[in-house]
Amino acid sequence: MPGIFRDRTKLSPRYVPEDLPHRQQQVQQIVDVFSDATDPDRFPLTILQIVGNAGIGKSTTVLKSAKALEEKFSRHHLLLKTAYINLKLQGGNKFAIYRFLLERIAPDLPSQGLSAEEMLRYLLRYLRDNNQYAIIIMDEIDYLVKTSKDSSIIYDLTRLNEFDPDKPCNIKGVIFVSRSTDYYGKLDSAELSTLGRVPLEFKPYSVEHVSDILSNRCDQAFENRAIGPDIIDQVARITSSPQVNGDVRYALDLLLYAGNLAESQGTEHVTLDQIRKVHGQTSPSITTEEIEQLSKHQLVSLIAVVRALKSRKKQYVELKDVRLQAAELAEQLGLKKMEVEDHLDELKVRKMIEVHSFKEIGLHGASLSELEPILISKVKQA
Ligand SMILES: Nc1ncnc2c1ncn2[C@@H]1O[C@H](COP(=O)(O)OP(=O)(O)OP(=O)(O)O)[C@@H](O)[C@H]1O
Ligand SMILES: [Mg+2]
């Protein structure tokens, strides 16, 4: 009997698909925004913002567009480098972020002892001296602005062409990607004005779009008969429900877990029951990718919330309960004492937990019994 999976890594969040059904138009739109960039007599710095809900292909589409632009430059015998930063993953202050840019674009330049501004100047000079070009992608910029007090990074990056106004700016573009424009409230007027007010908005996929996307991904991930069209339609409907809100990442997780379940139950194909079971046990607000992004302290804090809720058997618990659980767990894991509050704040921004007050801390609708073992095994690896 053939198995369920052909290649389950094709469902993983790390896999970047070749084809992006229903986002080709956006890929082209982004490439078109930079249509002047390969003209050596012009040196515009193009600032582009992309906004849209979670899991609707923003990061994937931007990366694909950057690749298309690199190819376009190469057809003009020019070298374009892409520096992609996911600020939720990379985090850090402005200094760390600029150092990362320098490492990506100019790896042979030492960054030690340079001020933030000097790093950008070096970067621009390096590109000019070597006849190279670059494009910078700042993904999850809303996360950075919400968690750090310093948003001057937006001011700096949107004015790269003013560092040496009489010389060409070989950084051709900066793309900011975010889930919403909420973070505008934290910017000052100068930052807002250079950012420009009109983002390219990614609309959610329709149910039919999600079906097409999932069929495509399933063809690569599953054996021929393992996934029927009824399963794909059901997952597409779940994905488009208000609870999941169009997040394709959740749909891929659901298919992966249901496939695993089919394998362990020894069925010939994935059944609707298996989809229902997995959907009932997993949480659209906490996906595997998001769990993988958490630091050890964030994981400990999240487990502490789960445990506190379990032991109190209530919808909300108090901070002191969470602290108690975190202290116990930290000790078991041999970690130093930790400030739970700081991490709870980060988990709140990531929309994993709800914090209404010190007396009301809860989870975003996750199924507790399912979540804890996943988190525990993760924190032991981290
Ligand atoms: N059109 C598509 N075709 C194939 N796969 C897709 C498509 N759109 C999204 N995906 C897949 O869905 C997942 C989520 O996409 P992506 O990470 O680009 O979303 P996002 O909009 O950046 O979400 P977030 O705001 O959470 O960062 C990825 O695994 C991606 O491969
Ligand atoms: Mg993204």
Q: What is the pLDDT of residue 267?
A: 95
Domain match, 59 and 145 both: yes
Domain match, 98 and 118 both: yes
Residue 253 domain boundaries: 8-13+205-281
| pTM of structure | 0.81
CB of 252 closer than 6 A to ligand 1?
A: yes
Mutate which of 200, 249, 352 for ligand 1? The one with the most ligand atoms within 8 Å of its CB, which is 249
Confidence of residue 171 (pLDDT cuts 50, 70, 90): very high
Residues 6+ apart with CB under 8 A from 184: 192
Pick from 226, 201, 202, 227: nearest CA to 214? 227
CB of 350 closer than 6 A to ligand 1?
A: no
Instruction: Write the CA distances from 90 to 85, 278, 296, 344, 375, integer angstroms.
Output: 7, 31, 15, 19, 21
For the residues 330-342, what does the mean pLDDT come to? Answer: 88
Domain match, 225 and 96 both: no
Domain match, 43 and 174 both: yes
Report whether 275 contacts 254 (CB < 8 A).
yes
Confidence of residue 228 (pLDDT cuts 50, 70, 90): very high
Domain match, 187 and 222 both: no
- Which atom of ligand 1 sits closest to the CA of residue 139? 27
Q: Any idea which of 8-22, 58-72, 301-315, 365-379 has the lowest mean pLDDT?
A: 365-379
Domain match, 244 and 115 both: no
Domain match, 211 and 169 both: no
Domain termination site, one of 175, 201, 227: 201
Mutate which of 245, 248, 250, 256 for ligand 1? The one with the most ligand atoms within 8 Å of its CB, which is 248
- Which atom of ligand 1 sits closest to the CA of residue 12? 29
Q: What is the pLDDT of residue 314?
A: 80
Confidence of residue 285 (pLDDT cuts 50, 70, 90): low
CB of 27 closer than 6 A to ligand 1?
A: no
For position 305, which CATH number holds? 1.10.10.10
Average pLDDT score, the chain: 90
For the residues 209-237, what does the mean pLDDT come to? Answer: 96
State the Cα–Cα distance between residues 337 and 327, nearest whole angstrom.
7
CB of 338 closer than 6 A to ligand 1?
A: no
CB of 4 closer than 6 A to ligand 1?
A: no
State the Cα–Cα distance between residues 92 and 89, nearest whole angstrom.
9
Domain match, 212 and 174 both: no
For the residues 114-122, what does the mean pLDDT come to? Answer: 93
Confidence of residue 366 (pLDDT cuts 50, 70, 90): low
Distance 200 CA to ligand 1 centre (A): 16
Confidence of residue 292 (pLDDT cuts 50, 70, 90): confident
Pick from 213, 154, 207: nearest CA to 178? 154
Confidence of residue 174 (pLDDT cuts 50, 70, 90): very high
Q: What is the pLDDT of residue 369?
A: 61
Q: Is the pLDDT of residue 104 over 90?
A: yes
- Which atom of ligand 1 sits closest to the CA of residue 53? 25
Confidence of residue 286 (pLDDT cuts 50, 70, 90): confident
CB of 305 closer than 6 A to ligand 1?
A: no
Joined tokens for residue 77: 């015998």
Joined tokens for residue 226: 């393992």
Number of structural domains (the chain) is 3
Q: What is the DSSP letter of 31?
A: H
CB of 87 closer than 6 A to ligand 1?
A: no
pLDDT tens-digit map of 7-53 = 999 999 889 999 999 999 999 999 999 888 777 666 689 999 999 99
Joined tokens for residue 344: 């709870």
**Range ranked top by mean pLDDT from 157-166, 221-230, 241-250:** 221-230
Domain termination site, one of 150, 166, 201: 201
Asked whether residue 124 is domain-assigned, the answer is yes
- Which atom of ligand 1 sits closest to the CA of residue 13? 29
Distance 50 CA to ligand 2 centre (A): 10
Confidence of residue 87 (pLDDT cuts 50, 70, 90): very high
For position 45, which CATH number holds? 3.40.50.300
Domain termination site, one of 162, 178, 201: 201
